[in-house]
Structure 1
Amino acid sequence: MRAPAISVRGAGKSYSGVSVLRDIDLDIAPGEIHSLVGENGAGKSTLLKILGGAVRADAGTVSFDGVPATIHNPRDAIRHGISLISQEGALVPARTVLENVFLGRWSNRAGFARRRGDRRAFGGLLATTGFVVDPQARVAELPIGVQQQVEILRSLARGARVLAMDEPTAVLTEREKENLLELIRRLAAGGTTVILVSHFLDEVLGVADRVTVLRDGDLVISEEAAKHTPGTLVRHMVGRQLDVPHPDPPPLPAGAPVRLAAKGLGRGMVEGIDLTVRAGEILGIAGLVGSGRTETLRLLFGADRATAGVVEVDGKALTRPTPRRAMGAGIAMVPESRKDQGLVMARSVRENVALASLGVRRFGPFVRRRGERSAVGRVSASVDIRAAKPDAAIETLSGGNQQKALFAKWLLRGPRVLLIDEPTRGVDVAAKTQIHQLIVELAAQGIAVVVVSSEIEEVLGLAHRVLVLRHGRIAGQFTRGAPREDVIAVAFGQEGESA
């Protein structure tokens, strides 16, 4: 019997004295689609990063095709044929798509890059994957979903025999998800081993050959996916039955005042955005990748300067909006990418949570640390941030705890308007439920909430109303309970009834 493509024995890893993986034994066969699932902080991403060379294990061994391997960095992993596609991404933003795909292995003769050969090879990769990506586009200007496609293209260009994918569908539209899952099936059928970390259990069971469940750093089961349902996986993940419906938003009080308004807002591809959000209301914004969802939130927050229109808070127009002025008016924003836009990864949990409200505790050039620790402790407990200690580096936390820290940072300011872009991206079932409940509670306190999500179910489940964007414009508006297929139809520009 052929040796497994990957064999892990006794793998262990700790951060700041907290064990996140313990004595993991795992075999993954060639050409297998193997999914790792588990709660927030279960160790899934850490195990994936050990295999991809992004993290060095404290204990244990890894073998590829039966041969013991030393993996100290991503270059070692690539040499063994494994390519890691992580949630955070590892592209060079200032370079083009073509340059990123062939980074470090450009075709050359006598030291000169052969761009014609690279473009020909790039065309072949597009034909294989079905992606539509401009090779000359700069990565920094691409949506996160398209950047992920670039990472997949780069992995294939390197001839990877093993693709280790961390939440690959988290920011994709329904059609993009289907295309990616079909690509994964084709790659596996051709002999590529795919290791998939995902919180979308239906997707896991629809594509995986085998599934491994981790819980609190321990391996619970590793079995054929066909033996399981989402319910059985959840029970293994949390050790108990867990229901995960979306909590109902609070009733909107009659006569609730308009807290946030935009009139004719626009910049670039975003045009003529008119919207209102009342105190205590949750407004959802849906649409395909590139529809202008994130761009609209950035205009509302002043992160991008609008070239048309006006933003009002409690009936008062923001003059020349900037993030500082928006914050002063009571607007807060949880951004799409916690790593690049929301957190300072090398700093501590305490420093990150306190960052947006430093001015409240500042006395001249000094910060009242005792008051800061107390305030951070209270808000961290309220959102259930699980960290070894407040001064632990935030980069050592799981993705779900990092996301909770983003919410805590803004809650410490007491916002009147909260803009949330992809609230549960890369978050497990239990943490997703906590974040959904938190959003509903904030609305019940009278905060006006705007939620952007690539998950149609999330938007429809949380919001009182849903706006659908297409090509930078509002294409439709739906009330709570609208059929999912109608929202998707409007997003794709097909026939559909809006209400």
Structure 2
Amino acid sequence: MQRSSTKAPAISLRGVGKSYSGVSVLQNVDLDIAPGEVHSLVGENGAGKSTLLKILGGAIRADHGTLTFDGERTAIHGPRDAIRHGISLISQEGALVPALTVLENVFLGRWSQRLGFRRAREDRERFDRLLEFTGFDVDPDRRVDRLPTGTQQQVEILRSLARGAQVLAMDEPTAVLTEHEKENLLGLIRRLAAGGTTVILVSHFLDEVLKVAERVTVLRDGQLVITEDAALHTPATLVRHMVGRQIDVLYPEPDPVPADAPVRLAARGLGRGLVGGVDLTVRAGEILGIAGLVGSGRSETLRLLFGADRATDGVVELDGTALIKLTPRKAMAAGLALVPESRKEQGLVMARSVRENVALASLGGRRYGPFVRPAAERSAVDAASRAVDIRAAKTDAAIQTLSGGNQQKALFAKWLLRKPRVLLIDEPTRGVDVAAKTQIHKLIVELAREGMAVVVVSSEIEELLELSHRALVLRHGHVVGEFPRGAPREAVIAAAFGDVGETT
């Protein structure tokens, strides 16, 4: 694929600030980004990283400050302005048209045409060259809404390259990728930078940051702390700058499961579509991990356990009682809760307030006839928010103004108000910084300590093996292995890829 030879601009921000609901999320940030460099922004959730990217990408406007490209002062009033300047924003939320195909999204508004007629063969050839350059494996004719989240992100990258972007602003690009896909993307970032493209990278995976970034900027509480060569740092030194203190414990050790602990949740021969004949048990106080590649049936298994998808085979049992014709309503009434993979699409109502989102799953417990008791709701939400440390100026603020980490905590708070017996969690720390990740891990361990049964799906093998009492590995919808806490990471990956026989 031929890349544009246009030189990426030098970018300079001076005094950039932004506030939401009276809370400052960026404070007078001065930052210079050199042409063709990989520049990473790191910090805790709420530090202002994503906000800064969105200002550059035209998704939001700064309240004050200036932006210059190659010394020329520039105003970016929206995404069109950003694209015109060669900047493409790839955000956590995504910006694809779900009902269109991959090919239609990649070339939307930029079809190959002659005399007003679209030249479909040329677009296919352009798409094939993009795949060859990136190393992605994406079906151009699949509808986007039928793709896994990680593949949708690849489509966004393909679209940015098709537009000839000279600056890629990438927000958590590896958060939804497998290990192989992550390495592929990091290699692509290196190739893009070598070809003159500037990459501005936000990531909580500090080891990945240090692999590809030339310089790194640390933000804390909306203020720029340092901008230095990445080679001067380790993950530990970056964390100290990010949080202003040392974080020593990332994975708290769960308590042993008592030998007489009852089986709280069981699945016998559970299946539908991709998932075939899954058997599992989880005892009270136990944390069960589920590992596997994207497409292995991990998330689908959780949805079957919760009744979000109706199983065609098998049965789900809670405390020995079969849950017949399971639906989410029946699951909730029985004491199950599900923290889904996508907080934006499946877990939260983004236009509503923090209070409304946290209260949503437990409204029935605070009703007086058809009316909700406001005082009881505020008291319950405030208590749940404190329990998970949601950092918001007020619970009436729209949840979409919170950082990704605080939105994730709100998901946990929503279900904790129901006091479930079983908590199903899909990607508990996706898009969450080191400090918030530690808080969530401690919360999960504490819930298990109180007797809750927990099932965790995570793309981070280390997280699964250190957090869970044991972990199952799925491949093509079937359980192919079981590993104890602290098992070798390589063994789990090998089982997921099918390089070894079944392990028990």
Determine if the TM-score, normalized by the shorter chain, exceeds 0.5.
yes
Render the CA deviation track for 1:150-195: whole Å, top value 9, x for unaligned.
1110110110001000011111111111110000000000000000
SS in 1 for 2:123: helix
SS in 2 for 1:443: helix
Are 2:110 and 1:97 equivalent residues in the alignment? Answer: no
447-456 or 249-258: which moved more? 249-258
Q: 2:90 aligns with which of 79, 85, 92?
A: 85
Query: 2:384 is aligned with what amino acid?
Result: V
User: Is this contact kept in 2: 1:3–1:65, CA < 8 A?
Assistant: no
SS in 2 for 1:310: strand
> CA 1:400 to 1:144, structure 2 compared with 1: closer, same or farther past 3 Å?
same
**Residue correspondence of structure 1 range 235-314 to structure 2 within 5 A:** 235-314=240-319
**Residue correspondence of structure 1 range 77-226 to structure 2 within 5 A:** 77-226=82-231
SS in 2 for 1:276: strand
SS in 2 for 1:345: coil
Render the CA deviation track for 1:300-319: whole Å, top value 9, x for unaligned.
11111111111111111111
Are 2:446 and 1:428 equivalent residues in the alignment? Answer: no
Q: CA deviation at 1:75?
A: 1.1
CA distance in 2, matches of 1:447, 1:109: 63
Match of 2:422 in 1: 417
Are 2:353 and 1:367 equivalent residues in the alignment? Answer: no
Match of 2:390 in 1: 385
SS in 2 for 1:220: strand
SS in 2 for 1:401: helix
Q: CA deviation at 1:497?
A: 6.7
User: Is this contact kept in 2: 1:5–1:193, CA < 8 A?
Assistant: no
Query: 1:37 is aligned with what amino acid?
Result: V
Match of 2:332 in 1: 327
CA distance in 2, matches of 1:67, 1:398: 31
Render the CA deviation track for 1:79-126: whole Å, top value 9, x for unaligned.
100100111111111111111111121222344332221111110000
SS in 2 for 1:413: coil
Q: CA deviation at 1:3?
A: 9.8
352-361 or 473-482: which moved more? 473-482
Are 2:27 and 1:22 equivalent residues in the alignment? Answer: yes
SS in 2 for 1:47: helix
SS in 1 for 2:24: strand
Q: CA deviation at 1:496?
A: 5.9
Match of 1:62 in 2: 67
SS in 2 for 1:242: coil
The percentage of counterpart residues that share the same residue type is 80
CA distance in 1, matches of 2:484, 2:128: 43
Are 2:49 and 1:9 equivalent residues in the alignment? Answer: no
64-73 or 261-270: which moved more? 64-73
SS in 2 for 1:395: helix
CA distance in 2, matches of 1:3, 1:420: 41
CA distance in 1, matches of 2:16, 2:253: 42
CA distance in 1, matches of 2:267, 2:8: 61
Give TM-score scaled by structure 1 length. Answer: 0.98
CA distance in 2, matches of 1:44, 1:221: 13
Match of 1:75 in 2: 80
Q: CA deviation at 1:254?
A: 1.4
Query: 1:132 is aligned with what amino acid?
Result: D
User: Is this contact kept in 2: 1:37–1:211, CA < 8 A?
Assistant: yes
Q: 1:473 aligns with which of 470, 478, 481?
A: 478
Give TM-score scaled by structure 2 length. Answer: 0.97
CA distance in 2, matches of 1:449, 1:111: 57
SS in 1 for 2:254: coil
Q: CA deviation at 1:255?
A: 1.2
Are 2:34 and 1:50 equivalent residues in the alignment? Answer: no
User: Is this contact kept in 2: 1:54–1:73, CA < 8 A?
Assistant: yes
CA distance in 2, matches of 1:243, 1:43: 24
Render the CA deviation track for 1:353-375: whole Å, top value 9, x for unaligned.
00000111122221011101001
Q: CA deviation at 1:495?
A: 2.2
User: Is this contact kept in 1: 2:8–2:36, CA < 8 A?
Assistant: no
Q: 1:396 aligns with which of 380, 395, 401?
A: 401
> CA 1:3 to 1:268, structure 2 compared with 1: closer, same or farther past 3 Å?
closer
User: Is this contact kept in 2: 1:4–1:27, CA < 8 A?
Assistant: no
Render the CA deviation track for 1:228-279: whole Å, top value 9, x for unaligned.
1111111111111122430111210111111111111111111111111111
Are 2:33 and 1:35 equivalent residues in the alignment? Answer: no
CA distance in 1, matches of 2:145, 2:465: 30
Query: 1:71 is aligned with what amino acid?
Result: I
CA distance in 1, matches of 2:191, 2:332: 48
SS in 2 for 1:62: strand
User: Is this contact kept in 2: 1:166–1:197, CA < 8 A?
Assistant: yes
Query: 2:400 is aligned with what amino acid?
Result: E
Q: CA deviation at 1:67?
A: 2.3
Query: 2:289 is aligned with what amino acid?
Result: G
SS in 2 for 1:253: coil
Aligned pair count reads 498
Render the CA deviation track for 1:39-86: whole Å, top value 9, x for unaligned.
121100100110011111001111223322211111111110010011
SS in 2 for 1:277: strand
CA distance in 2, matches of 1:192, 1:23: 27
Query: 1:470 is aligned with what amino acid?
Result: R
> CA 1:93 to 1:210, structure 2 compared with 1: closer, same or farther past 3 Å?
same
CA distance in 2, matches of 1:416, 1:112: 60
CA distance in 1, matches of 2:77, 2:9: 21
Question: Any gaps of 5 or more consecutive residues in structure 1?
Answer: none
Q: CA deviation at 1:286?
A: 0.6
